[in-house]
Structures are given as structure tokens and as C-alpha cells.
Amino acid sequence: FIEARSIREQAFQLFVILLLGVVALKRHSPEWLHKAVIVVLLASVALVFIIEWNTFMIVNQ
């Protein structure tokens, strides 16, 4: 893991690693595993968005 300076950078690194994992698994993986990885990806994106939104709202108050 590269040392990240912000939550956004860490989340982006995690996203890239998961994406590479999906590409690697897609060649030989059961359907449920593929769906589970997609769900995790979507959940992490949503979580990052919520964190970023809350940070933005707090900073602008």
C-alpha cells in the first residue's frame, strides 16, 4: 500500500485494487462471487461519497 495523504486517495487506491481483483477473478469465478465484489465496490463508492459530502458540509458551515 502506498502511503495516502487523504481518505479520498486511500479510497481511490482501494477502488483500483478491487477493480484489478475483479478483472483477475472474472476469468474463473462463480457468478455469486462476481456479484458480491460488485456490491462491495458500489458500497465503498457510496461510503466515500457520504464521507466527502459530510466533510464538505462541515467545512462550509
pTM of the complete model: 0.47
Domain boundaries defined on the chain: 7-59
Q: Give the Å distances, CA to CA, from 4 to 13, 17, 27, 38, 49.
A: 8, 14, 30, 24, 18
Confidence of residue 1 (pLDDT cuts 50, 70, 90): very low
Find the mean pLDDT for residues 18-42: 76
31-59 vs 7-26: helix crossing angle, rounded to 10? 170
- Which residues, at least 6 apart from 51, have a Cβ–Cβ distance to it below 8 Å? 7
**Percent with pLDDT over 70 in the chain:** 80
| pLDDT the model gives residue 29 | 66
Q: Give the Å distances, CA to CA, from 9 to 6, 18, 24.
A: 5, 14, 23
* Higher-pLDDT residue of 61, 58: 58
